[in-house]
Amino acid sequence: MPRPFATAIVAMSLDGKIATRDRDDTAFSSRADRRFLNEKRAQSDALVVGAGTVRAGDPPMRVSPRSLLKGRPEPLRAVVSRLCLLSPDLKVFGAGTKTLVFTCEDASPGARKALAGVADVRVSPGSVVRASEVLEALGKLGAKRVLIEGGGELIWAFLEEDLLDEIHVTLCPVAIGGQSAPTPAGGAGFDAATLKRAKLLDSRREGDELFLHYSFRR
């Protein structure tokens, strides 16, 4: 079975940040950008997000408005969390099919059990969830197109295994600053010899924002 096609999507400030130093990402992208995100969600079979993003903004991870789905089912939702310390009351566990939680053996049995009622919890061996495991599991559930909604640590997991096929970056006309403000990719990072090159597929201007679409398959 071929693995699902993986697309990441982020809104980024002019200085390369995806949220403020206090991890707020609500203030800088536009209505057009939010619409674009929802269009991409509607074209996907599964949405994947890191636990830091879920804790920061409590996103429901639903397509809005629902008319964008054009009769298609809502995409599956998946959260990746090493420690599984997530409240079952988070919106991502609300209405709809059971959200998947990808966690690992580092998560305590109690933390996993706390989510068992609201989520389909999958436990990986070791202390990290590999992007390949996420894609394989989603592929087995029938997903062909997977949208990686960030944040930086999750996107890094896909880059590290060379499993990110493309990325949409909305360049927003704002500077954020802050050494600790998150960027599109965290993790250990590449060095000069191994950095990941991409090819520009499309660019579009709307107002003062640039919508950039890059492929990592050159």
Ligand X SMILES: NC(=O)c1ccc[n+]([C@@H]2O[C@H](COP(=O)([O-])OP(=O)(O)OC[C@H]3O[C@@H](n4cnc5c(N)ncnc54)[C@H](OP(=O)(O)O)[C@@H]3O)[C@@H](O)[C@H]2O)c1
Q: Tell me which residues touch ligand X (CB under 6 A).
A: 10-11, 18-19, 23, 25, 50-53, 56-57, 80-83, 85, 128-129, 149-154, 157, 182, 186
CB of 174 to ligand X, least distance (A): 11
CB of 157 to ligand X, least distance (A): 4
CB of 99 to ligand X, least distance (A): 14
Q: Looking at beta carbons only, is 4 or 150 nearer to ligand X?
A: 150
Q: What angle do CA 198, 204, 207 make, to 5 degrees?
A: 135
CB of 2 to ligand X, least distance (A): 22
Q: Looking at beta carbons only, is 23 or 145 nearer to ligand X?
A: 23
Q: Which residues contact 67 (CB under 8 A, 6 or more apart)?
A: none
Q: Looking at beta carbons only, is 112 or 193 nearer to ligand X?
A: 112
Q: Looking at beta carbons only, is 4 or 186 nearer to ligand X?
A: 186
Q: Looking at beta carbons only, is 39 or 73 nearer to ligand X?
A: 39
DSSP letters, the chain, are: -PPPEEEEEEEEETTS-SS-TT---SSSS-HHHHHHHHHHHHT-SEEEEEHHHHHHH------SSGGGGTTPPPPEEEEE-SS----TTSGGGSSSSPEEEEEETTS-HHHHHHHTTTEEEEEESSSS--HHHHHHHHHHTT-SEEEE---HHHHHHHHHTT---EEEEEEES-----TTS--S--SS---TTTPPP-EEEEEEEETTEEEEEEES--
CB of 37 to ligand X, least distance (A): 8
CB of 166 to ligand X, least distance (A): 15
Q: Looking at beta carbons only, is 61 or 76 nearer to ligand X?
A: 61
